[in-house]
């Protein structure tokens, strides 16, 4: 079983990170780490961090600063935690506020970026360089989402940036994407991209985000994310 939540790491979160308000409940229901947690980053490094409870709120503390320093996370970076129950550790995906610095095997969409348009989203240049070998894939590309959904999309060069154009509006409509969602794209092969959707409202305090399970639903019964699987 895979669960996950997203958080934004601000300047005040460098020494410790406040976990979602329901974390204590998730410890009981889904065996989340209660005292210590292992966090594995995209480059394979593993960090041991302390989980502690302060007046009912849970935080990541000892070891968190080492992780932030090692990854050189700037202020306002997005991080996504995927918890693998069988392996008892978190996978950490980090996506910088400056999309051009995102990990090269992934790119992401968050509403409000200056390079995104209503009917298209631009693709991280490092992803284009490392994963697409500085080419524009021929039509069609397939974006795979929740519940065995798939969309045929076109990639075009707009203002010297590679963008997903045809099919992007349909994805946003059918997945009910709002400003509170973080979309993560992972390359499967040259013409196939896996889409995961995470909910993370900036109106919530700290990392107070939604837990999402592999069935694609948050634990208040609403369809929130696929984490590589499916909202049905």
Domains of the chain, first to last = 2-97 (2.40.330.10), 99-196 (2.40.330.10)
Per-residue pLDDT reduced to its tens digit, 92-124: 876 655 545 555 567 878 777 778 888 999 887
Q: In 3D, which of 24, 2, 51 has the Cα closest to residue 213?
A: 2
Rounded distance between C-alpha atoms, residue 154 and residue 41, angstroms? 31
Per-residue pLDDT reduced to its tens digit, 163-183: 999 999 999 999 888 887 878
By CB atoms closer than 10 A (0-12, 13-18, 19+), residue 106 is buried
Rounded distance between C-alpha atoms, residue 41 and residue 94, angstroms? 8
Q: In 3D, which of 158, 142, 162 has the Cα closest to residue 150?
A: 142
The percent of residues above 70 in pLDDT, for the chain, comes to: 76
- 27: pLDDT strictly greater than 60: yes
Q: How many residues does the chain have?
A: 232
Residue 38 vs residue 225, higher pLDDT: 38
| 106-110 and 181-189 beta bridge pairing | antiparallel
Q: Is 16 helix (H, G, I), strand (E, B) or coil?
A: coil
């Amino acid at each position: 079983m895979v669960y996950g939540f997203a958080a934004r790491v601000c300047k005040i979160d460098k020494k410790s990170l406040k976990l979602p308000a329901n974390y204590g409940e998730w410890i009981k229901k889904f065996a989340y780490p209660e005292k210590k947690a292992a966090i594995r980053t995209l480059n394979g490094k593993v960090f041991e961090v302390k989980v502690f409870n302060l007046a009912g709120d849970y935080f990541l503390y000892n070891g968190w600063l080492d992780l932030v320093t090692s990854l050189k996370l700037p202020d306002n970076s997005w991080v996504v935690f995927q918890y693998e129950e069988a392996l008892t550790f978190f996978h950490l995906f980090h996506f910088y506020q400056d999309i051009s610095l995102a990990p090269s095997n992934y790119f992401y969409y968050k509403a409000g970026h200056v390079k995104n348009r209503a009917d298209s989203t631009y693709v991280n240049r490092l992803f284009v360089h490392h994963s697409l070998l500085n080419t524009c894939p021929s039509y069609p590309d397939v974006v795979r989402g929740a519940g065995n959904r798939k969309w045929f999309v076109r990639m075009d060069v707009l203002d010297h940036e590679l963008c997903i154009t045809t099919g992007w509006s349909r994805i946003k409509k059918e997945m009910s994407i709002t400003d509170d969602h973080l979309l993560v794209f992972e390359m499967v092969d040259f013409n196939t991209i896996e889409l995961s959707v995470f909910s993370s409202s900036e109106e919530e305090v700290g990392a107070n985000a939604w837990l999402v399970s592999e069935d694609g639903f948050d634990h208040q019964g609403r369809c929130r994310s696929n984490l590589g699987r499916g909202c049905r």
